[in-house]
């Protein structure tokens, strides 16, 4: 298959691209190499991917509509698009909300516009566990209401889900949304807890603990997440006739259940967030490790 993946210099995008390339697929990798964290780390990831003949690197920002259009036209036939690039950081979204509007909202819109004009077999995009926000029901489920985001980052991710839902319904784009929970592993982001804790331990410095240490969190190992994503990428939602949209609507619940079950084979548990005695807990629900929506309605 031939994939276009955004964010291939990022943690998850790098691992996904490498897995697909190792399996003999072709990957067009888009990344703006933004300086949110060490750009040299991103360059090193891309250098590894560039060893594969099937990898083509394109440096372009998500908000650069003309640049994206050029890459899209030069890429030829694409079977699937996996949109992972985004501006991340819950705290950073309060400090620089405009960056999140540009990268997450405008950027996702630009990607979907390309697909609308030249359809692909499957469009997958990364959402976030942050969309569950103030949801007090635990464990979380894909069908839970997510209308109370507690950060602007979460608000942009929820908005991307809504835009993808609309495009999927209106133009019959086979779409899969993935709500990633906390991911760790080799080549991980230096701003995440595992890397920060490791560096401080090596340097003999104390570890920063939030909320007085009264919290629990489960993490998803990167290989498990990539396994689930690869399996989902190969199973696009089916099209079903629907009188309200001239036969272009996609199946929803049935596909979502099937896709989630397939992904659950690789993803054993799902990090869930709750509040107990006034402090946060990130606890796993039996049966899943990551929240994946097989199709948006």
Task: Check pLDDT > 60 for residue 236.
Answer: yes
> Is residue 11 a part of any domain in this protein?
yes
Residue ranges making up the domain that contains 70: 2-184+215-293
Handedness of CA 97, 156, 224, 80 (dihedral sign): negative
Q: Is residue 80 part of a domain?
A: yes
Lowest mean pLDDT segment, chosen from 162-176, 226-240, 259-273, 279-293: 259-273
HSE, side-chain direction, 13 A CA sphere, residue 247: 0
Q: Which residue has the higher pLDDT, 297 or 174?
A: 174
Q: pLDDT digit string (tens) for 153-166?
A: 999 999 999 999 99
> Per the structure, how many domains does the chain have?
1
Whether the pLDDT of residue 100 is over 60: the answer is yes
H/E segment holding residue 55: strand 55-59
Give the residue, 211 or 129, on which the prediction is more confident: 129
- Under DSSP, is residue 265 helix (H, G, I), strand (E, B) or coil? helix
- Catalytic residue numbers read 153
Note whether residue 192 is domain-resident. Answer: no
pLDDT for residue 238: 81
Degrees (nearest 5) of the Cα angle 91, 97, 98?
150
In a domain? residue 203: no
| pLDDT of residue 119 exceeding 50 | yes
Rounded mean pLDDT, 57-70? 98
Q: Report yes or no: 282 and 218 within 8 Å, Cβ to Cβ.
A: yes
Question: What phi and psi, each to the nearest 5 degrees, are found at residue 3?
Answer: -110, 145
**The CATH number of the domain where 44 resides is what?**
3.40.50.720
Q: Answer yes or no: is 198 within a domain.
A: no
pLDDT-based confidence at 11, cuts 50/70/90? very high
Q: State CA 9 to chain mean position distance.
A: 14
> pLDDT value at position 137?
81
Domain membership flag for residue 105: yes
Q: Is residue 208 part of a domain?
A: no
Residue 26 is predicted with a pLDDT of 98
Only one residue has tokens 């990607």, namely 111
Q: Which whole-number Å values give the CA distances from 123 to 35, 174, 177, 213, in the listed order? A: 27, 6, 9, 39
Q: Which residue has the tokens 């709500």?
A: 179
**pLDDT averaged over every residue in the chain:** 84
% of the chain beyond a pLDDT of 70: 79
> Is 199 part of any domain?
no
Which pLDDT tens digit goes with each residue over 245-284? 333 434 444 444 444 444 443 443 333 333 333 334 444 3
Q: Report the distance separating Cα 242 and Cα 169, nearest Å.
A: 10
Chain centroid, CA 290 distance in Å:
11
């Amino acid at each position: 298959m031939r994939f276009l993946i955004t964010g291939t210099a990022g943690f998850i995008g790098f691992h996904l691209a490498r897995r697909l390339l190792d399996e003999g697929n072709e990957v067009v990798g888009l990344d703006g190499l933004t300086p949110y964290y060490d750009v040299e780390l991103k360059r090193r990831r891309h250098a590894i991917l560039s060893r594969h003949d099937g990898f083509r690197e394109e440096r372009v920002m998500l908000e650069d509509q003309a640049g994206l259009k050029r890459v899209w036209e030069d890429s030829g036939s694409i079977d699937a698009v996996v949109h992972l690039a985004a501006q991340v950081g819950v705290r950073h979204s309060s400090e620089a909300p405009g960056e999140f509007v540009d990268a997450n909202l405008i950027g996702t819109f630009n990607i979907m516009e390309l697909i609308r004009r030249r359809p692909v077999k499957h469009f997958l995009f990364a959402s976030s566990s942050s969309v569950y926000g103030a949801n007090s029901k635990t464990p979380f489920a894909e069908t839970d209401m997510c209308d109370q985001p507690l950060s602007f980052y979460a608000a942009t991710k929820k908005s991307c889900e809504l835009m993808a839902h609309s495009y999927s319904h209106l133009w019959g784009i086979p779409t899969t949304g993935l709500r990633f929970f906390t991911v760790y592993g080799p080549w991980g982001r230096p701003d995440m807890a595992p890397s920060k804790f490791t560096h401080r331990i090596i340097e003999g410095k104390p570890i920063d603990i939030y909320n007085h240490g009264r919290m629990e969190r489960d993490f998803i190992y990167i290989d498990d997440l990539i396994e689930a994503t690869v399996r989902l990428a190969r199973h696009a939602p089916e099209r079903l006739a629907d009188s309200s949209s001239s036969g272009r609507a996609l199946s929803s619940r049935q596909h979502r259940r099937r896709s989630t079950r397939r992904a659950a084979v690789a993803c054993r548990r799902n990090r869930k967030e709750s509040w107990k005695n006034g402090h946060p807990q990130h606890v796993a629900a039996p049966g899943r490790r990551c929240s994946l929506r097989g199709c948006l309605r």
